[in-house]
Homo-oligomer: A and B are copies of this chain.
Amino acid sequence: MAENKRAIIIGIPGVGKTTVITRAAELLARSRRTTTVVFGTLMFEEAKKTGLQNRDEMRKLPVEKQKQLQETAARRISEMHDDVVIVDTHLFINTNEGYYPGLPMRLLTIMNPTNFILVSADPQQIVERRKTDQTRQRDVLSVEAVQKELDISQTMVAACSVITGAPFSVVVNGDNKVDEAAAQVTRILTGEVK
Residues of A bordering B, CB below 8 Å: 3, 63, 92, 95-101, 103-108, 115-117, 151-152, 154-156, 158-170, 187-188, 191
CA distance A34 to B92 in the complex (A): 28
Closest B residue to A191 using CB positions:
B96
Partner of A167, one of B101, B165, B168, B169: B101
Partner of A101, one of B92, B103, B165, B187: B165
Interface pair B168/A99, CB less than 8 Å apart: yes
Known A-B contacts A158-B155, A158-B159, A159-B159; A98 and B165 likewise in contact (beta carbons under 8 Å): no
Interface pair A115/B101, CB less than 8 Å apart: no
| Residue from A167, A169, A187 with most neighbouring chain B CB atoms (10 Å) | A167
A selection of 23 A-B contacts at a CB cut-off of 8 Å is A96-B187, A96-B188, A96-B191, A97-B169, A98-B168, A98-B188, A99-B158, A99-B161, A99-B168, A101-B167, A103-B162, A104-B161, A104-B163, A104-B165, A105-B162, A105-B165, A107-B165, A108-B162, A155-B158, A156-B161, A156-B162, A158-B159, A159-B159
Chain B residues positioned under 8 Å from A98 (CB to CB): 115-117, 167-170, 188
Interface pair B104/A167, CB less than 8 Å apart: no
| Residue from A95, A105, A154, A166 with most neighbouring chain B CB atoms (10 Å) | A105
